[in-house]
Structure 1
Amino acid sequence: MAHVEPTGQIVTPPAHTDAYMDMSARRGMWSGFGHFTTWGSMLLILTVGYATFVITMGVPWIGALIGFAVFGVAVGLLMNMGGAWVATVVGL
């Protein structure tokens, strides 16, 4: 035979269940995924925006840096990203 036949009883989850996954674990997973996506998206927006303003539009680098830092902190505060986000933007 090309495959192995199950030797014991096959147990399937009952209908309309969450496949035995703990709901707090599921919420934690999606919360972590949401935070990672938010942080990654904002860092990408700040990086590409800064590069676009400096390289293609001729904005002085210090002006673009300060402008995007203010923008990043403001958006982070509006999105409740916390003090770690503010420290990250200021550190960049």
Structure 2
Amino acid sequence: MTDGWAHLLAEGPHNLHAMLVQTIRDDLKAAFDALAVGDAARVAFLAHRLKGSARLSDDKAATALCAALEAAGQAGEIERARLFLMTLERAFSTARGPQ
């Protein structure tokens, strides 16, 4: 995580971390919902948002998964996107730790 973001999370509003975690959860759910209806463009859009969240934490593996998910969405590859999204969900869950 960059020093600026580390400072913001440490010194910013007390609920900023919780807000980021909730945004990730919401985007993951929305991406699964988009997959369920075959909306590859929406999956790509949400993957791009998730990529930003992964970058905030300097999580290179999650950032790469998000990029792969975004590319699969842009290519309309729903089943491939599903595999990336399931892997990404586990990666974000692991990074957040026990809830």
User: Which TM-score tier does this pair reach, normalised by the shorter chain?
Assistant: 0.3 to 0.5
> Whose RCO is larger (CA < 8 A, sep 6+)?
2
If the length of structure 1 is used for normalisation, what is the TM-score?
0.41
Rg larger for:
1
The structure with the largest helix share of the pair is: 2
Q: TM-score, normalised by structure 2?
A: 0.39
